[in-house]
Amino acid sequence: MSAAAAQARPPAILVVEDETAVRLMICRMIRGLGFECVEAVNGREALRIVRQREQPFALVLTDLIMPVMSGVELCERLAEERPGLSILGMSAYPRPTLTSHNAIPPALPFIQKPFLPGALAQAIQGAISD
């Protein structure tokens, strides 16, 4: 791909969500916001995608409670391998519940599911600008 073609691509967000219907809905919202959306079904797949992708992601949006590899473990691994990569955690559980069970890093930007496109846009902008 030429440098001009790479520059013309919108910023990419990696969505890590094990529930197919939820992942598809979130990606539809993200594309509607003007981003490219790449999908992963679990943390292991997300790590593989991040490692293999030439262009860096603008953001990784990950569910925190997943089988195979939790979103928290994914966050820890990404922090080691890709310092500075913006990460936004999400869960159907409220943040206080996740915090009390040590299921969320305290400084991690977070959005509670379900969310509307406007709330997602705000959370993405906040996570990217941190």
117/26 Cα distance (integer angstroms): 9
Number of Cβ within 10 Å of residue 19's Cβ equals 14
Strand segments (E) across 1-130: 12-16, 36-40, 59-63, 87-91, 110-112
Above 70 in pLDDT, residue 4? no
Q: Which residue has the tokens 């790590």?
A: 47
**Using one digit for the tens of pLDDT, what is the confidence trace for 66-101?**
998 989 999 999 999 999 999 999 999 999 888 887
Q: Tell me the average pLDDT across 118-128.
A: 97
Topology classification of domain 3-129: Rossmann fold (3.40.50)
- The pLDDT of residue 6 is above 80: no
pTM, 2 dp: 0.91
Answer whether 111's CB lies under 8 Å from 88's CB: yes
* Beta-bridge partner residues of 60: 14, 87
12 Rama sector, left if φ>0, alpha if ψ -120 to 50, beta otherwise: beta
| Domain range summary for the chain, segments of one domain joined by + | 3-129
